């Protein structure tokens, strides 16, 4: 357990240091351009957010959730989860045991997210937005770039540091697996949008719903303004602190 935590900490540090195009510390989304000193305040926010994503992923991996038979993990590399549900003769079974979604773990994951404070949720919002936008730039001429961003944000929350590492710094095998996971996520998203997929709410949807509730609601520009002010306060401090 200690070795696993040390590995995660090492990977988090390397991701931030070695992937500046994705971890855009000087110009993060929803925030103004940051000075070198301000970036030192952002870093622990991102580290803490990745830690929370790992906690969410651990809920699906620990013994409190029923284990998923190994054959369903092998199905990832066969591209089974990338197929539309209508093409799967055992769609209900595939959906129930899909390790990329792990629906049986979702209620506890949702409960965990809803237990987090405003500061924790704001940090996770910065993290998934930063990585989502950073990787979206990998598909500059693709009409599916925003769809991929949405899926990547969900994958970060579901799979934690491992997924981010696999996609950005992993070997060829890990990057290939991350690609399968993203493709499967896109298929899942399209099925959900088409009304062909029932199930628990997504983790990004839960994150945003809890964020909105902690900010006491609002929509449109009002909500965007509340989010921006919250993120500025988290990273830059309040007005008195900045003035000092």
Torsion of CA 72, 75, 80, 85, to 10 degrees: -10
> Has residue 152 been placed in a domain?
yes
What burial class does residue 29 get, using C-beta atoms within 10 Å of its C-beta: 0-12 exposed, 13-18 middle, 19+ buried?
middle
188: containing domain: 39-238
What mean pLDDT is reported for the chain?
A: 84
Q: What does the pLDDT read at residue 142?
A: 72
- Domain presence at residue 19: no
Domain membership of residue 153 (yes or no) is yes
Q: Is residue 32 part of a domain?
A: no
Identify whether 68 is part of a domain. Answer: yes
The predicted model gives 144-169 an average pLDDT of 92
CB 21 within 8 Å of CB 133: no
Q: In the chain, how many domains are there?
A: 1
Residue 96's nearest CA partner among 80, 60, 72, 63 is 72
Single pTM value for the model: 0.85
> How far is 229 from 223, CA to CA, in rounded Å?
10
60-93: pLDDT as tens digits: 887 566 665 555 555 555 555 554 554 444 555 5
Check pLDDT > 70 for residue 94: no
* Domain presence at residue 115: yes
Rounded mean pLDDT, 168-175? 93
Q: Is residue 103 part of a domain?
A: yes
Q: How far apart are CA 187 and CA 191, in angstroms?
A: 6
Q: Which residue has the higher pLDDT, 109 or 104?
A: 109
- Asked whether residue 15 is assigned to any structural domain, the reply reads no
Lowest mean pLDDT among 16-20, 79-83, 173-177, 226-230: 79-83
Mean pLDDT of 37-45: 96
């Amino acid at each position: 357990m200690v070795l696993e935590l040390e590995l995660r900490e090492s990977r988090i540090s390397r991701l931030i240091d070695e992937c500046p195009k994705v971890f855009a510390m000087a110009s993060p989304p929803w925030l103004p351009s940051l000075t070198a000193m301000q970036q030192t305040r952002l870093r622990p926010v991102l580290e803490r957010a990745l830690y929370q994503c790992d906690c969410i992923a651990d809920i699906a991996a620990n013994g409190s959730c029923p284990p998923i038979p190994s054959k369903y993990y092998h199905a990832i590399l066969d591209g089974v989860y990338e197929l539309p549900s209508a093409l799967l003769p055992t769609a209900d079974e595939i959906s129930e045991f899909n390790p990329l979604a792990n629906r049986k773990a979702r209620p506890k994951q949702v409960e965990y997210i809803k237990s987090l404070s405003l500061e924790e949720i704001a940090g996770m919002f910065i993290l998934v937005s930063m990585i989502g936008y950073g990787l979206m730039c990998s598909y500059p001429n693709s009409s599916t770039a925003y769809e991929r961003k949405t899926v990547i944000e969900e994958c970060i929350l579901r799979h934690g540091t491992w997924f981010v590492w696999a996609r950005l710094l992993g070997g060829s095998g890990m990057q290939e697996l991350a690609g399968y996971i993203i493709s499967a996520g896109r298929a899942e998203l399209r099925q959900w949008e088409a009304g062909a997929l029932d199930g628990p709410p997504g983790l990004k949807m839960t994150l945003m719903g809890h964020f909105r509730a902690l900010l006491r609601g609002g929509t449109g520009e009002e909500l965007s303004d509340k989010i921006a002010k919250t993120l500025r306060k988290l990273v830059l401090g309040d007005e008195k602190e900045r003035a000092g």
